[in-house]
Structure 1
């Protein structure tokens, strides 16, 4: 399988300066393949994008911490993610993908290594199987660790997955708002359904991220801003932001990470909203023992 690059070699420096302590709450690492091979089930084989590159980008963009989400190309082998967390000097946490038969002892080891949640992926182009019954068992098992569950799906599955999500008795974080059609605006059917869902389920959070995937207009992503900013205003205590670096499978439209950061004040226009989005909310989920940094 051909290896692909989907990230910018020279992203711009953002005009927006994130507040001190800001967290990039959704990013990935790939390999290095020689050390951490890809899953036999991987649907894509990216070029190496390891922790040194991730942390250099973190510093360039003005962030302090990262939340590293296990990439589907690595399957349930979380070693690349754990390696990056170990190299972060306490400035990264992680989201794992695990086998349903994982032992409690292995979960405890992941917790000690900095994992704070598990991810369930329902994108058929990325995974072959998404067993809801086994996922529910896993969600219940990780409650004792105070972990949350990250769920990735596309907008047309929201109604079908609602009973499944209602059965999960812990915090849920939805990746990229369930990939709505933002071109229809804040009152389009996808965004309206998702806002209603959040309003009816107080344990559900979301990442207001991936303008580069969701916008049909492209830069400067005005359709994304118009659709998403009302959601940030309506649910300021349950939103997170992430760069999605190194932008899996975006090789045909590689985004500029600096330009993505410059969207933050457009979807969260006040310092108070920016602090919740970038500091208060991710710290509550990933570094609760440290408390919130002073303003």
Structure 2
């Protein structure tokens, strides 16, 4: 088959996706929704992502607001609509958002807010926005999705413990690859998960490695979560891999989940049942 933009390789995964499999972390960037309507990266629109779905076999998706679209959710809402009930969204907002706008976004399929603070210098939001917004979205049944480093998670442990809504940890908690589950953030995350307060995204193997492919150090981290809390894990491709100069092969990333899960039953839990519960798929 032909290649997918921003994805290496052309072969399908060696492990077939089960019916209803969900890619719970991907981004849509479409210059048609930029202020000028022109420019920006090519090959990251919803039509391009649907090529990826056909290649790896997923049918459900959770689109995470791209930084390039700021707090304007027109692109995100359009992508959700285009998948006709098989997509949800994670937005980015400031505390000044009105209640009526929150209700509009909820009706459009948004189910959480992301706080990407891994690199504070280019962040759209700040850590002091997390709690005020968590209080605003709790009654909607939304969650906060946190992209923090392991050290940042430890520093924010008291804040995380008092949030009134669920928490989803991005990219396996961004634990230092050389320490992995031995880093204290792992215990903070697992404690919140076991209390029914949090979930973890098994995504971004290339963000959790010091070794590179086949990501043995990231595999150690993922397997540690699978051993502890398999019922609260979801998987994401992180397409279109905007951080990567050399794009990974998404079929290989999809196959890696089978290695992490250790069994078809756990893999199906991560791909189907867990995201259905977290994001409200029917």
How far apart, in 1, do the equivalents of 2:120 and 2:249 lie? 25
- Candidates 152, 158, 166, aligned match of 2:153: 158
**TM-score (norm. length: structure 1):** 0.86
1:9 and 1:38 map into 2 onto residues whose CA distance is 30
Secondary structure (helix, strand or coil) at the match of 1:195 reads helix
Question: 1:272 corresponds to which residue?
Answer: 265
Q: Does 1:246 align with 2:240?
A: yes
- Which 4+ runs in 1 deviate beyond 4 A? none
Residue 68 of structure 1: CA displacement? 0.3
Q: What is the number of residues matched between the two proteins?
A: 273
2:226 pairs, out of 232, 249, 269, with: 232
Q: How does 1:9-20 map to 2 (within 5 A)?
A: 10-20=9-19
TM-score when normalising by structure 2: 0.90
Alignment partner of 1:171 out of 142, 166, 179: 166
Gaps of 5+ in 2: none
1:36 aligns with 2:33: yes
Q: Is the 8 A contact 1:69 1:95 kept in 2?
A: yes
| Residue 9 of structure 1, CA deviation | 5.8
Say if 1:90 and 1:17 are closer, same or farther in 2 by CA, change over 3 A: same
Secondary structure of residue in 1 paired with 2:19: coil
**1:76 has 2:71 as partner:** yes
Q: Offset at 1:214?
A: 1.6
What CA distance in whole angstroms lies between the structure 2 residues aligned with 1:249 and 1:198? 24
**Offset of residue 156 of structure 1:** 1.9
Select 2:126's aligned residue among 131, 149, 164. 131
C-alpha distance in structure 2 between counterparts of 1:256 and 1:165, whole Å: 34
Q: Measured at CA, do residues 156 and 213 of structure 1 come closer, stay the same or move farther in structure 2, by a change above 3 Å?
A: same
Q: Is the alpha carbon distance of 1:126 and 1:74 closer, same or farther for their aligned partners in structure 2, counting shifts above 3 Å?
A: farther
Summarize the Cα distance change of 1:226–1:159 in structure 2 as closer, same or farther, 3 Å threshold.
closer
Closer, same or farther: CA 199–8 of 1 in aligned 2, 3 Å: closer
Spell out, residue by residue over 1:66-119, the C-alpha distance to the aligned partner (whole angstroms, 9 max, x if none).
000001121111111111111111111100111211111111110111111111
The residue that corresponds to 1:108 in the other structure is 103
Residue 271 of structure 2 aligns to a residue whose secondary structure is helix
Distance 1:10 1:126, change over 3 A: farther
Q: Residues 38 and 74 of structure 1 are in contact (CA less than 8 Å); yes or no, is this contact kept in structure 2?
A: no
Question: Do the aligned partners of residues 11 and 76 (structure 1) sit closer, same or farther apart at CA in structure 2, a change above 3 Å counting?
Answer: farther
Match of 1:148 in 2: 143
**Does structure 2 conserve the Cα–Cα contact (< 8 Å) formed by 1:7 and 1:250?**
no
Superposition map of 1:206-225 within 5 A:
206-225=200-219
Distance in 2 (alpha carbons) for counterparts of 1:64 and 1:256: 19
**Are residues 1:197 and 2:188 paired?**
yes
Report the Cα offset of residue 48 of structure 1.
4.4
- Secondary structure at the aligned position of 2:145 is classed as strand
State the 1:131 CA deviation. Answer: 3.4
More helix by percentage = 2
Check the 8 A contact 1:76/1:97 in 2, yes or no: yes
The answer to whether the 8 A contact 1:120-1:150 is kept is yes
